């Protein structure tokens, strides 16, 4: 089995990729502007809910319950979806998922598909696989279409082209749609997109989607969206194929009541999203006459097996944690080198790949806790980040090079010093002396090695001549001092 999460296996470390993003002032401006707008909208519609905390708790509880009985609910979903006329396929990993989708398209003699926005297809790199086999996928979500036309990568889970502003989008459309006279107003751009897409909606015979929820009780799939392109893709084609992560299950139809309140408010700051499509198998004479569901594992059962990491699978992909994250807001999403960015990406991406890749991501956080505060399913992201850092350190220390890593040596030295206050006092005296080569005019402005990062932008006050414990000792000797 080969788990693959987008291009993350070959992506550079976060700290290196972040340097590139931080140097792009236009990108940083776009990201800050967009996240500020969504954050403000979210705060407003969440603030008006008197039972928001109960809704969060209920969302988290339903997910935790589902994860405890995931095997049972998955089989129940399969049974009910099949009974309703759908066909269920199981994919262990990215390659298997792509192969199943490809052979289904071939089975119906298709050469093109129209796609609803789906992160899961980015995860398995479906488009690349289809194109390599002569099948053309058309992204119909406006942002995904922008990315596809410009051969760019998503930088946000909900608003994947958030790093581009409308002037940049106009340039892409002008070139790719051959529209030299295109204006830069939002209506100009959506008009252009509508003309381009309408023809696809009316002619392409195979639709493709992910799902926000898969209801075990009824065998239904649910897609929540804003643009109406999803509704077109889900209803117009003859054939519908949906790629769904196994964690998308909810036990009952009534559970949707909770998530359809928490998801739109958290994701786009809307009380209700414009389009919610729910389908259960096949209905003769209405919509696609062939409905397929590919249930994807791709590392999820590994995550499920970890008692602390498991909560990561509760995620409903609202991206509230991205918008709230002060790190994401500085760097944007590309620095994460993953289809899943921000705080949730920092815990999901490495875990799905059994910590073999993206090991820098658990460190891409100041542990400020803003992500946990806004998470509508109460995933304790800082807790998982710390847990994953522990895994990275344990793995690193299995090898000599990791044992000799300056950070590990520093931590071991601190462990030795902190074990005994006498050692701490000796270390304080030593550090006070050792710092003098770096002190100029009562300030440290340049440090070597690992600490150079600090002094690149910050000064450091030197260690004062007297520690607190020295002051206390003097005072004990002279109680009235």
Partner 1 sequence: MNISLFIAFYNDTLFPETGIAVVHVLERLGQTVDFSRAQTCCGQMHYNSGYQSEALPLMRKFIETFRNAEAVCIPSGSCVAMIREQYPRIAAETGDRKLAAEVNALLPRVYEFTELLVNKLGIEDVGAFYPHRVTYHASCHSLRGLHIGDIPLRLLRNVRGLELVELPEWDQCCGFGGTFAIKNAQTSAAMLADKMKNIISTGAQVCTAGDNSCLMHIFGGLHREQANVKTIHIAEILASTENASIENASTEETSAQKVSTRKGSRA
Beta carbon nearer to partner 1, 270 or 383: 383
| Contacting residues for 249 by C-beta, under 8 A, at least 6 apart | 66, 70, 73, 74, 77, 213, 214, 215, 216
Q: Provide, rounded to whole angstroms, the least separation between the CB of residue 359 and partner 1.
A: 11
Q: Provide, rounded to whole angstroms, the least separation between the CB of residue 255 and partner 1.
A: 28
**Part in contact with partner 1 (CB under 8 A); list of ranges 166-174, 219-227, 251-259, 361-369:** 361-369
The answer to whether residue 37 forms part of the interface with partner 1 (CB under 8 A) is no
Beta carbon nearer to partner 1, 77 or 372: 372
Q: Which of 109, 448, 464, 479 binds partner 1 (CB under 8 A)?
A: 464
Greatest CA span in the chain, whole angstroms? 95
Q: Provide, rounded to whole angstroms, the least separation between the CB of residue 460 and partner 1.
A: 6
Beta carbon nearer to partner 1, 441 or 477: 441
Ranges within 102-141 binding partner 1 (CB under 8 A): none
Give the whole-angstrom CA distance, residue 79 versus residue 202.
Answer: 32
Q: Which of 393, 405, 438, 439 binds partner 1 (CB under 8 A)?
A: 393
Beta carbon nearer to partner 1, 19 or 83: 19
Ranges within 249-308 binding partner 1 (CB under 8 A): none
Beta carbon nearer to partner 1, 344 or 370: 370
The answer to whether residue 38 forms part of the interface with partner 1 (CB under 8 A) is no
Beta bridge partners of 201: none
Please report how many Cα atoms fall inside a 13 Å half-sphere around the Cα of residue 374, on the Cβ side.
30
The answer to whether residue 336 forms part of the interface with partner 1 (CB under 8 A) is no
The answer to whether residue 9 forms part of the interface with partner 1 (CB under 8 A) is no
| Contacting residues for 277 by C-beta, under 8 A, at least 6 apart | 222, 223, 225, 230, 231, 234, 235
Beta carbon nearer to partner 1, 162 or 361: 361
Count of beta carbons in the 10 Å neighbourhood of residue 449: 8
Q: Provide, rounded to whole angstroms, the least separation between the CB of residue 422 and partner 1.
A: 9
| Contacting residues for 131 by C-beta, under 8 A, at least 6 apart | 137
Q: Provide, rounded to whole angstroms, the least separation between the CB of residue 389 and partner 1.
A: 3
| Contacting residues for 390 by C-beta, under 8 A, at least 6 apart | none
Per-residue mark of binding to partner 1, 362-391 (x: CB under 8 A) = xxxxxxxxx-xx------------x--xxx
Q: Which of 3, 6, 14, 240 binds partner 1 (CB under 8 A)?
A: 14
The answer to whether residue 57 forms part of the interface with partner 1 (CB under 8 A) is no
Give the whole-angstrom CA distance, residue 146 versus residue 27.
Answer: 16
Q: Provide, rounded to whole angstroms, the least separation between the CB of residue 12 and partner 1.
A: 13
The answer to whether residue 398 forms part of the interface with partner 1 (CB under 8 A) is no
Sign of CA dihedral 376, 379, 383, 389: negative
Residue 439 is given by DSSP the state: E
The answer to whether residue 53 forms part of the interface with partner 1 (CB under 8 A) is no
Give the whole-angstrom CA distance, residue 101 versus residue 107.
Answer: 10
The answer to whether residue 478 forms part of the interface with partner 1 (CB under 8 A) is no
Q: Per-residue DSSP letters for 226-275?
A: SSSHHHHHHHSSSEEEEEEEGGGEES-GGGHHHHHHHHHHHHTS-SS-SE
Give the whole-angstrom CA distance, residue 404 versus residue 411.
Answer: 11
Ranges within 401-460 binding partner 1 (CB under 8 A): 407, 411-412, 414-415, 417-421, 424, 428, 431, 441-443, 445, 450-451, 453-454, 456-460
Three-state secondary structure string covering 60-115 = HHHHHHHHHCHHHHHHHHHHHHHHCCCEEEEECCHHHHHHHHHHHHHHCCCCEEEE
Q: Provide, rounded to whole angstroms, the least separation between the CB of residue 184 and partner 1.
A: 29
Beta carbon nearer to partner 1, 149 or 392: 392
Residues that bind partner 1 (CB under 8 A): 14-15, 18-19, 22, 326-327, 330-331, 362-370, 372-373, 386, 389-394, 407, 411-412, 414-415, 417-421, 424, 428, 431, 441-443, 445, 450-451, 453-454, 456-461, 463-473
């Amino acid at each position: 089995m080969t788990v693959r999460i987008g291009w993350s296996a070959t992506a550079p470390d976060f700290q290196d990729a972040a340097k590139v993003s931080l140097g792009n002032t236009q990108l940083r401006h776009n990201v800050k502007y967009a996240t500020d707008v969504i954050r403000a909208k979210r705060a407003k519609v969440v603030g008006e809910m008197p039972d928001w905390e109960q809704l969060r708790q209920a969302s988290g509880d339903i997910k935790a319950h589902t994860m405890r009985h995931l095997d049972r609910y998955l089989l129940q979903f399969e049974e009910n979806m099949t009974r309703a006329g759908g066909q269920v396929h199981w994919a262990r990993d990215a390659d298997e998922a792509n192969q199943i989708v490809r052979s289904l398209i071939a089975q119906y003699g298709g050469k093109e598909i129209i796609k609803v926005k789906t992160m899961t297809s980015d995860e398995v790199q479906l488009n690349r696989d289809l194109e390599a086999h002569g099948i053309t996928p058309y992204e119909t979500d406006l942002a995904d279409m922008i990315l596809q036309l410009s051969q760019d990568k998503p930088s946000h889970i909900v608003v994947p082209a958030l790093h581009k502003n409308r002037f940049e989008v106009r340039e892409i459309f002008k070139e790719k749609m051959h529209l030299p006279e295109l204006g830069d107003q939002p209506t100009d751009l959506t008009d252009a997109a509508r003309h381009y897409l309408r023809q696809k909606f009316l002619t392409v015979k195979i639709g493709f989607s992910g799902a926000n929820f898969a209801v075990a009780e009824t065998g239904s799939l649910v897609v929540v969206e804003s643009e109406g392109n999803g509704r077109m893709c889900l209803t117009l084609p003859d054939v519908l194929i949906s790629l769904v992560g196994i964690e998308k299950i909810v036990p009952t139809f009534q559970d949707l009541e909770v998530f359809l309140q928490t998801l739109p408010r958290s994701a786009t700051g809307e009380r209700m999203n414009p389009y919610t499509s729910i389908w259960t198998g096949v209905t003769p004479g209405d919509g696609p006459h062939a409905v397929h569901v590919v249930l994807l594992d791709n590392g999820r059962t590994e995550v499920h097996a970890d008692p602390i990491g498991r909560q990561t699978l509760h995620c409903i992909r609202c991206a509230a944690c991205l918008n709230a994250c002060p790190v994401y807001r500085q760097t944007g999403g590309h620095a994460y080198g993953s289809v899943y960015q921000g705080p949730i990406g920092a815990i999901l991406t490495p875990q799905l790949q059994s910590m073999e890749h993206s090991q820098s991501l658990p460190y891409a956080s100041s542990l400020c806790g803003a992500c946990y505060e806004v998470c509508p399913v109460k995933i304790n992201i800082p807790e998982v980040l710390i847990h994953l850092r522990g895994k990275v350190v344990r793995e690193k220390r299995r090898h000599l090079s990791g044992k000799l890593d300056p950070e590990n040596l520093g931590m071991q030295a601190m462990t030795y010093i902190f074990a005994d206050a006498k050692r701490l006092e000796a270390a304080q005296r030593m550090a006070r002396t050792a710092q003098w080569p770096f002190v100029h005019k009562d300030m440290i402005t340049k440090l070597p090695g690992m600490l150079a990062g600090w002094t690149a932008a910050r000064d450091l006050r030197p260690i004062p001549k007297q520690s607190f414990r020295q002051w206390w000792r003097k005072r004990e000797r002279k109680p009235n001092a």
